[in-house]
Amino acid sequence: GVEMASYKKKYALDHRHLGIGGQADVFRATNKDTGDDFALKRCRSKDDDGLARFRREIEIQNSLDHRNIMPIIEHDEDDFLWYVMPLATKSLASELPPIHDALIEKVAEDCLAGLRHAHGEGPVHRDVKPQNILLLEGDSGIRWVVADWGCARKKPGLTTQIRTRTGEFVATEGFAPPEVYT
């Protein structure tokens, strides 16, 4: 559609998904001018609740400037239907057991630093799981980042149910906070 045309001018998407989530798909995206590779997350939801969650994800993630939180490089400023982020090397979910103590310490240190920063600013992630912990390698070194802030709440004390109007469960079962199970 028209709303998707804005990223197609600048990025060429790989035909295979890097990831498929509850409301969005992630693709490798190559910048047509520079040849640099990124990840482009595109909202798949068409209902108002899903679109609002995706917009909130962009707003929250954009507001958190920390080396251990996945940065947003750019996004669709009109409809909030897609955003571009650095291309991760892998997710924690791709690590096979046994995971060495040094890796566990590094992941915990990095992710806790990012989450501590976010919680100090107000947002609470509410869907921390191995698939949302990604490895970035680049000019600022190797670091683990917390990604996918689509289930986050903006301020502590303002907890809302993470459900659609039909009552469908949105967060990841087993990783979601206790309040979504009530």
Would you name the residues annotated as active-site residues? Answer: 127
Element (H, E) at 20: strand 11-20
DSSP result, 151-168: T-BSSTT-----B-TT--
Q: Measured between alpha carbons, how far is 61 from 79 in angstroms, rounded to an integer?
A: 16
Cα torsion through 105, 143, 113, 55, rounded to 10: -130
8 Å CB contact between 117 and 66: yes
Q: Measured between alpha carbons, how far is 176 from 129 in angstroms, rounded to an integer?
A: 9
Collapsing DSSP states into helix, strand and coil, what is residue 8?
A: helix
Tokens 């409301």 correspond to what residue? 23
